[in-house]
Structure 1
Amino acid sequence: MKIIITATSFFLGLIFSLFPYDYPILWSTTPTPATHFDYFESHLRFLHASPPLIPRILHIVIFLGLLGLIMKLYKPSESNMLFDGASLVLYMCGITVYIANIVKGLRLVSGGVYGDELVKGAANGGGEGDEGVEQGQILGREDSLKVLAASNTILALVLVGVLVLQAGQWYAERKEAQEVESFSTSSSKKGGSEKSEAQEGGSKKKRN
């Protein structure tokens, strides 16, 4: 469980670091200034241009979380099937969102080519433009950044769900252990009282 919580919290912390950029785009009641999109785009380009060691560490941590969930499902109990099975489904949904939306969006932002520019590239016979049109990429710059921000929020909710399920499993196992302990304690007390009563009965018979 510690491996799962550590990997999930690490991934969630990275998403939270992007929240100052996502909040004005998704949740603010005032119109988002154009300069904010410039800041967000520059930050994403800086992230995507980071040294290869950075994404490798991230991917290793993600793999460790997935490995921890799979290991807990080896010879599963009823509790494992319920909590860890649901956690694994949510974790895989998070990985899917990360690969399909976030990684693809980072590559798009780093390229700096959006919607109409991709269509123009396709019309001019550019190979990259053709690929972009085939993938159905018709969003403009601001819409693409909004999709990235929304993907971060979805991923954060999925990861929080994994943490909630793991906390629920820990609480359920703890309550079960407490109930077993209280039952064994009451049984031992009951057995001790019966034994003492039997001893008292035997001593009375000897006296008689």
Structure 2
Amino acid sequence: MAGLRTSVFISAVSFLLGLLFTHWIADSLTLWKSPETQTDFRLWTSATYYSILSRMPPALLYLYGGVVSIGATALLWSLGDGQAGNLMFDGGSALLYGTAVFIYIYSVIPNILQNFTSLPLPFEYASKAMSAALDFPAFPSSLKGPTLELASSHLACSVALTGVVALQAGRWWVEQYDEDEQQQTVDGEGDETHPELSEEEGAQSTATEGGDQARKRAGPVRT
């Protein structure tokens, strides 16, 4: 059952990480850019992506919320066992997972709904700029902050969920190590429980070796 819960949780986290990685299409245009390379074209492209994202069907939002709920349920169920490994690794995972969910609910979603839902998509400007090398219209200064904040929030969520995967991998390694140690202990106790068997095996081995040596000294049997 523990393996099933971990598999469900890791699957949910991997799904959410995949969603965040798709946002890199827009986030890569605005993150870690100097003022010289932060052009209006990059900002408009990123804002256009977020504007399209704000118009996604509500069913997808419910689907994403369901995946988050399933992952949280599996994690809390595992954390409820109260074992040392669960408290350490699952506790850290719960903190990072909750941080990512908190950032997305209280920062990303309100930002998108407030600033990008009614944003006019500059597709005509994009086609002209790419075909005729025309300058893009100036990007609104009031929208620059929310655009950069979205990229930073997505990055923070990705780092948090990556930390969750690392913690769960560490938990798996520790559990495998403990199982190997227990198996070695059981094998050692089995040898100590039946010392007479080892003595009998040693005596039989000694007798067999002695018989072989005696036959070698006697030489081949003549008929």
> Given the two structures, how large is their TM-score scaled by the length of structure 2?
0.73
Check if 1:38 corresponds to 2:44.
yes
User: Secondary structure of the equivalent of 2:16?
Assistant: helix
| Residue 82, structure 1, aligned to residue 88, structure 2 | yes
Provide the rounded CA distance (Å) in 1 between the counterparts of 2:33 and 2:146.
18
- Cα 1:51/1:200, change in 2 over 3 Å: closer
In the alignment, structure 1 residue 108 sits paired with structure 2 residue 114: yes
**Which position in structure 2 is the counterpart of 1:20?**
25
Say which of 99, 104, 110 aligns to 1:93. Answer: 99
The CA distance in 2 between the partners of 1:78 and 1:59, in whole Å, is 30
| Matching residue of 1:7 | 12
Identity across the alignment (%): 24
Asked if the contact 2:12/2:67 (under 8 Å) is kept, the reply is yes
Shift in Å at residue 155 of structure 1? Answer: 0.4
Larger radius of gyration between Structure 1 and Structure 2? 2
Distance 1:156 1:200 in 2: 61
**For the Cα contact (< 8 Å) 2:30–2:38, is it kept in 1?**
yes
List gaps (5 residues or longer) in structure 2: 1-5, 120-140, 204-223
Distance across 2 between alignment mates of 1:95 and 1:176: 32
**Which whole-Å deviations, capped at 9, do the CAs of 1:112-141 have from their partners, x for residues lacking one?**
58xxxxxxxxxxxxxxxxxxxxxxxxx821
Q: Hey, what does 2:155 align to over in structure 1?
A: 153
- Asked if residue 54 in structure 1 is aligned to residue 60 in structure 2, the reply is yes
The answer to whether residue 70 in structure 2 is matched with residue 67 in structure 1 is: no
Q: Which residue in the other structure is 1:168 paired with?
A: 170
Which residue of 1 is the match for residue 137 of structure 2?
Answer: none
| TM-score of the two chains, using structure 1 as the length reference | 0.78
Instruction: Check the 8 A contact 2:29/2:43 in 1, yes or no.
Output: no
Post-superposition Cα deviations, 1:66-117, rounded to whole Å, max 9, x if no partner, equal 001111022320110111111111111111100111101111232458xxxx
Q: Is the 8 A contact 2:27 2:151 kept in 1?
A: yes
1:145 deviates by 0.4
How far apart in 1 are the matches of 2:196 and 2:109?
69
Contact 2:55/2:117 (8 A) holds in 1: no
Give the equivalent residue in structure 2 for 1:187.
189
**Take 1:200 and 1:9, find their aligned partners in 2: how far apart are those partners?**
55
CA deviation after TM superposition for structure 1 residue 194, in Å: 4.2
Contact 1:3 1:68 in 2 (8 A): yes
CA contact under 8 A between 1:97 and 1:151: conserved in structure 2? yes
Whole-angstrom CA distance in 1 between matches of 2:112 and 2:87: 35
